[in-house]
Structure 1
Amino acid sequence: MVVGDVTTGTDVLVIGAGPAGYVAAIRAGQLDQDVTLVEKDAYGGTCLNYGCIPSKALITATDIAHEARHAEEMGIHADPAIDLAGMVGWKDDVVDQLTGGVEKLCKANGVNLLEGTATFTGENTVRVSHSGEGQGSETLEFEHAVVATGSRPIEIPNFEYGDEPVLNSRQALALESVPDSLVVVGAGYIGMELASVFAKLGTDVTVIEMLDSILPGYDDDLKRPVKQRAEDLGIEFEFGYTASEWTERDDGDGIRVVAEPADRAAADGGAAAGETDADTDAEAEPLELDAEKVLVAVGREPVSDTLDLAEAGVETDDRGFIDTDSQARTNVEHIFAVGDVAGEPMLAHKGSAEGQVAAAVIAGEPAAIDHQAMPAVVFTDPEIATVGMTESDAEEAGFDPVTGVFPFRASGRALTTGESDGFVKVVAESDDGYLLGASIVGPEASELVGELGLAVELGATLEDVASTVHAHPTLSESVMEAAENALGRAIHTLNR
């Protein structure tokens, strides 16, 4: 023990106050546990402060400006002026309201809040170092611990985030002036969401991606409308390349980003070494792209290296993720891990669900994590949302799937919004009609997927969904029509 340490005890120690950690802390408090929540940065974690909430705020704001600017067919003629500093200020107000709410909810549920950085010193102890000169540290003894330290943006060689023109997603969301041009490295969900934001602000955007398409892991029919809309916004794509370095331009006007063919970078052990399915000519020349700034969005990595996990005997995989079971337990029975630090999928709502499970298990209640109806959403334009199995997933699992599709171009409500690209697709077992999964690309996909997630969770059938009367005119009718299409009785689209 460090001289001068004060030792205190708690039933449940939660490390990290993001959506996984603060939910675990609040639920444990509701279950009459003595809970201490340690946070080194800001309540709400990356999601509320630097990720989910601020990015969606800017997506909404830029969508409003873009829609107003392109509403001539509705008889609206406008050219809104964009004050990015004002937009960011509004975004910050939203963030402050939510993070302040998290702190109040924790206190109202009896959670003890402690600011500092926690590191394990044994299986039942941590040292919490407080920031600030002379603040010192203290030791906490615990019966159970929940690790919820989240993730951070991956940094690639030669693109350090401390360099002024190089941005990670957090820094991009804090810009107060619109860059004239931007290179985005990575066409995953973060890269594509922010590429669209800046394109709608008037930035010339080029996206570099080592694979041969955007949004790895999503089916081509879902990605196609998103890529087309991005190209309509003026976003240019360079597939089969990895960013290797950047330099300041000789004329002092911005930077030059150099990108190597992905297969050559992999062979050379470059920044994005690994297999690629990009169809890239081995003799292709490097790209040189001029821009004002470069945004690196190649993924996220777990924040587990700051915890001294070995002192507690907690094991991680070779990427730093903490292995857990269906109850969020690590290999050390009384230590749990939830959220991004516990591995894919790295989704805020998945972390919150895991946090509730961990709290319940600690309190002696039966609980387990069920990923069967775990939704995933990409807030691109248009949005993508999925839940449960795809058709190919179902076939691989041994089911005989049947599908039903309803296009938004046949939806009266979609047409009245001016957003009719995309579709709703449902997947069910052909014999009994049980819903196995669904996917959506189009307007309000993030909202529509909730009904389908509930249907999968409850074991609803196509008949259940199709026979549920949906209000007209609404986008949710498309869910009903997709189920009817799978049954061969859709009214407003041709049955397959």
Structure 2
Amino acid sequence: MGKIVDIVIPDLGPDKDVDLIDIMVSVGDRVEEEDGLITLETEKASMDVPTTQAGIIKEILVKVGDKVNSGDLIAKVEVEDDNSVAATAPKEQPKQEAPKAASTSASKPIPTVVDASGAGEVKGQVLVIGAGPGGYSAAFRCADLGLQTVLVERHDTLGGVCLNVGCIPSKALLHVAKVIEEAEHISHAGIKFSKPEIDLKGVADYKSGVVKRLTDGLSGMARMRNITVIQGTASFIDEHSVIVNHTKEDKKTVVKFDNCIIAAGSQSSKMPFIPHEDPRIWDSTNALEVKEVPKKMLIMGGGIIGLEMGTVYQKLGSEVDVVIRGPQVMTGTDKDIVKVYTKANEKRFNFMFKTQTQAIIPKEEGIYVEFKGDNAPEPKTYDVVLVAMGRSPNGLKIGLENTNVEVDDKGFISVDNQMRTKVPHIFAIGDIVGGPMLAHKAVHEGHVAAEVIAGHKAYFEPKQIPGIAYTFPEIATAGLSEIEAKEAGINYEVASFPWSASGRAIASDVSGAGLTKLIFDKDTDQLIGGAIVGDNAGELLGEISLALEMDCDAEDIALTIHAHPTLHESVGMAAEIFHGSITDMPNAKAVKK
């Protein structure tokens, strides 16, 4: 008879009382090492817990519905004497040769046994620099493909700018702003609320709680994948090693790698004429702290970040001016889409189009700003100036001069369609390689880089990259804009469905600020682009994105039955307009009698 070994829940990090949702084995089953035993569900994800021993299941000590924690006993396994090892004891790892760059097969992952935070040297088959959405996705994919992975992140928690001081906290604050907005506008329907009492600490705590829930989940998933995580900033020593300066400690760690994925992201652009050292000059990170609500705020730039944060602060009580160099907000977005947004926000913001700041002078009473341009107002004094004039890549800040990786003077890294740089075993993804600076683009690029390193034939060749402004109303786009179609010389036709003809939009009181627009190639009837402006536009964009990827034509979309009444059916109706089968509004293509 063999020995009985206890199998326990591995380290779950900060997660407590995790739900056990499935048991994959029964008493008497034979299991091999790494076979799944149970499935747990945390707030972030579901995860399988494997057995650390091969043998026969003799006893199962948990049941579906239990709340479990790190170290809890799961089962007892009978193992052969020569296979018997305490389940919780670290196992000696077999020596294995690290795969060459872009090898045709991936080796089994080596569980991390090095405390990277205090070690002088760490080795990995893959090093990922930056743990934003692209970076952590690349690292997780590498680990899942059997590669020993090291992940370096400068923030206290995984998630990068997006999760810590970008996409996620801003959406939490926009949710708060949306609730205020809806409460203010429901009085005409017989529901009246008093003016909201705003507790800024409560708002900030809510935002921080959202971030913590997600970052804790990422940390747990990194542990489950045996990824070595080092907190600090990395700089290349040569083409096979970096030095990491630890963020919180006076320590340095050398990381040696066979392959590297650079996902070092970007940062808010700094303008030389702006006194950024003054605490009343904010960037988006400062704005997300919600420590105060300035009475008067100036937003420099008519892009997405500034308009989103301006929306938040306007709902919290600020008077907001927006200075815009050009004739419209969101440069590059089609005029008919922007027109709907601008009209809906005429009372929210004081837009100053074709205007620039000429001088920004900190004074005791506030930030004194002088303007120039076609519509320049008299000088004004603001409590806060939010600088939202784009982002700059970090390619010039990570020691790439010590490698042959090609970087331009702005900091963008040159890559091919496999995300490979000029150095074959070094890859780059995300903001740092150019194109739209969007988390979801970086995620897909990260998957490609990881799969190429593991020997798979993977390429980043998307037919569309969706973009969303989470403003009120939202603007969502995919594929070509009308501007781009015209510049490309395409014989195109636009089909737009106004939400004023949508039953759901009218019932939901969002019909006044909504439009669904599809762009078709007139020669082939194929969809080449689309845009939606309106409530929850981002949630409606998925069909357009999929239709573009699948090369759908107008008939494919128009003949797809869409649920009624929904805002989503506006996509189908826009296709019907082009197809000539629309019945919910006058049909310009109807047969004339």
Return the TM-score normalized by structure 1. 0.90
Look up the match of 1:216.
331
- Inter-partner Cα distance in structure 2 for 1:237 and 1:139: 50
The equivalences for 1:405-444 within 5 A come to: 405-420=496-511, 421-444=513-536
- Alpha-carbon shift at residue 392 of structure 1 (Å): 4.1
Give the helix-richer structure, 1 or 2: 1
Look up the match of 2:279.
164
Q: 1:124 aligns with which of 240, 254, 266?
A: 240
Look up the match of 2:365.
253
Q: Is the 8 A contact 1:154 1:298 kept in 2?
A: yes
Is 1:26 paired with 2:140?
A: yes
Is 1:9 paired with 2:141?
A: no
Is 1:181 paired with 2:273?
A: no
Q: Is the 8 A contact 2:236 2:402 kept in 1?
A: yes
Q: 1:91 aligns with which of 190, 197, 207?
A: 207
Q: Is the 8 A contact 1:14 1:21 kept in 2?
A: yes
- Inter-partner Cα distance in structure 1 for 2:120 and 2:383: 50
- Inter-partner Cα distance in structure 2 for 1:255 and 1:351: 37
Is 1:148 paired with 2:263?
A: yes
Deviations 1:334-393 (A, max 9, x none): 111111111121011111111111111111111111232210111111111111112343
Look up the match of 2:40.
none
* Greater length-normalized contact order (CA 8 Å, ≥ 6 residues apart): 1
Deviations 1:202-261 (A, max 9, x none): 21111112222211111111111211222122x112223333443344xx4333122344
Look up the match of 2:347.
232
Is 1:483 paired with 2:570?
A: no
Is 1:340 paired with 2:340?
A: no
The equivalences for 1:42-441 within 5 A come to: 42-78=157-193, 79-133=195-249, 135-233=250-348, 235-249=349-363, 252-261=364-373, 280=374, 287-420=378-511, 421-441=513-533
Look up the match of 2:112.
none
Deviations 1:270-327 (A, max 9, x none): xxxxxxxxxx38xx7x841211111000110011222110112212112111111111
Q: Is the 8 A contact 2:462 2:549 kept in 1?
A: no
Task: State the one-letter code of the partner of 2:536.
Answer: E
- Partner of 2:475, secondary structure, is strand
Q: How has the CA–CA distance of structure 1 residues 403 and 240 changed in structure 2, closer, same or farther, with 3 Å as cutoff?
A: closer
- Alpha-carbon shift at residue 121 of structure 1 (Å): 0.5
Q: 2:544 aligns with which of 452, 456, 464?
A: 452
Return the TM-score normalized by structure 2. 0.76
- Alpha-carbon shift at residue 13 of structure 1 (Å): 0.4
- Inter-partner Cα distance in structure 1 for 2:152 and 2:561: 47
Task: State the one-letter code of the partner of 1:358.
Answer: A
- Partner of 1:316, secondary structure, is coil
- Inter-partner Cα distance in structure 2 for 1:15 and 1:299: 22
Q: Is the 8 A contact 2:334 2:482 kept in 1?
A: no
Deviations 1:82-124 (A, max 9, x none): 2222112101100111111111122222322111211101111
Unpaired runs of 5+ residues, structure 1, are 262-279
- Partner of 1:25, secondary structure, is helix
- Partner of 1:107, secondary structure, is helix
- Inter-partner Cα distance in structure 2 for 1:61 and 1:25: 33
- Inter-partner Cα distance in structure 2 for 1:204 and 1:138: 48
Unpaired runs of 5+ residues, structure 2, are 1-117, 589-593
Task: State the one-letter code of the partner of 2:153.
Answer: E
Q: Is the 8 A contact 1:19 1:351 kept in 2?
A: yes
Larger radius of gyration: 2
- Inter-partner Cα distance in structure 2 for 1:495 and 1:28: 53
Q: What percent of counterpart residues are identical?
A: 40
CA RMSD in angstroms, aligned pairs only: 1.8
Is 1:466 paired with 2:558?
A: yes
Aligned length: 468
- Alpha-carbon shift at residue 398 of structure 1 (Å): 4.7
Q: Is the 8 A contact 1:178 1:198 kept in 2?
A: yes
Bigger mean CA offset, 313-322 vs 154-163:
154-163
Structure 1 residue ranges (4+ consecutive) displaced by more than 6 angstroms after TM superposition: none
- Partner of 1:231, secondary structure, is coil
